[in-house]
Amino acid sequence: MTEQEQEQELTSLLTIPNMISIPGVDYSVSETPITVGQFLLFCASNTIQPPKQPEPYSLNNPVVNVSYYDAEKYCIWLTQQNVATPHHNNSSHLEYSLPANDQFEFFCADHTEATPEIAVYGRTEICKVATKQPNKYNLYDYLGCVWEWQLKEKAYAVVRGGSWRTHLREYAHCVRDRYFPDFRHDDVGFRVVRRVVVPLSDVVSSAKH
């Protein structure tokens, strides 16, 4: 690979996540868990020290060793990037957040149990995202790969989905664990959801017309 090709590949990995629209609901979901490359862009933009990542290192690995608070800050940063550019030529904007429990249930409903075709599990080391088959919505790694943070429940934050380290017998989409929001681990990451937010003033104005 030439130096120019290497630079182009690096640029393609240091980007915001690709969002997949889900039919029948008012939000879209990141295609994969947030990757190292995607999170590094956030760190560079905010002069933040990136979290230590396990070997074998790749910008296309899911980012891990991120707390619930880290994931929340990433969502706020993504939202701020979109607020600067109004959506559909009006004052609405795109808002990013961690998935809520019912959202996770919805987008992984067609595969409630892990299989070797869709899930990375039972490994001794981390691996890149999107190495298995996607589900019917073209989402990857919602089971396996990394435990994913969800919106906080009271004092605790929930992780779901299992990870590359999880054994098959422990797998099901309903399996979850709870941690304090500052918890970090080398098999805990996250993905994001996005929805269009319309200011109340626009809703009122539209109703008057």
Q: How far is CA 88 from the centre of its chain?
A: 24
Instruction: Give the lowest-confidence range in 4-18, 99-113, 148-162.
Output: 4-18
Partner residues linked to 153 by β-bridges: 156
Residue 4 maps to a domain: no
Mean pLDDT, residues 92-108 taken together: 89
List, for residues 35-68, the tens digit of each pLDDT value.
999 999 999 999 999 999 999 999 999 999 999 9
Residue 29 maps to a domain: yes
Residue 154 maps to a domain: yes
Instruction: Give the lowest-confidence range in 6-15, 17-26, 58-67.
Output: 6-15
State the residue range of the domain holding 20.
Answer: 15-208
Domain harbouring 162, CATH code: 3.90.1580.10
Residue 88 maps to a domain: yes
Q: Which are the contacts of 130, defined by CB distance < 8 A and separation ≥ 6?
A: 31, 32, 140, 141
Number of domains in the chain: 1
86: tokens are 């109004």
Q: What is the pLDDT of residue 83?
A: 61
Q: What is the pLDDT of residue 204?
A: 39
Q: What is the pLDDT of residue 174?
A: 62
Q: 2: pLDDT confidence band, cut at 50, 70 and 90?
A: low
Residue 67 maps to a domain: yes
Partner residues linked to 27 by β-bridges: 195
Residue 7 maps to a domain: no
Residue 5 maps to a domain: no
Q: 206: pLDDT confidence band, cut at 50, 70 and 90?
A: very low
Mean pLDDT, residues 84-110 taken together: 76
Integer angstrom CA distances of residue 54 from 45, 58, 98, 105, 199: 23, 9, 23, 29, 42
Range list of β-strands (E), the chain: 19-21, 27-30, 93-97, 147-149, 157-160, 176-179, 188-189, 193-197
Q: What is the pLDDT of residue 203?
A: 40
Q: 155: pLDDT confidence band, cut at 50, 70 and 90?
A: confident
Taking 70 as the threshold, does the pLDDT of residue 34 lie above it? yes
List, for residues 119-148, the tens digit of each pLDDT value.
898 899 999 999 999 999 999 998 889 999
Residue 2 maps to a domain: no
Q: What is the pLDDT of residue 52?
A: 97
Taking 50 as the threshold, does the pLDDT of residue 205 lie above it? no
Integer angstrom CA distances of residue 166 from 26, 85, 132, 172, 187: 32, 41, 16, 11, 9
Mean pLDDT, residues 83-98 taken together: 68
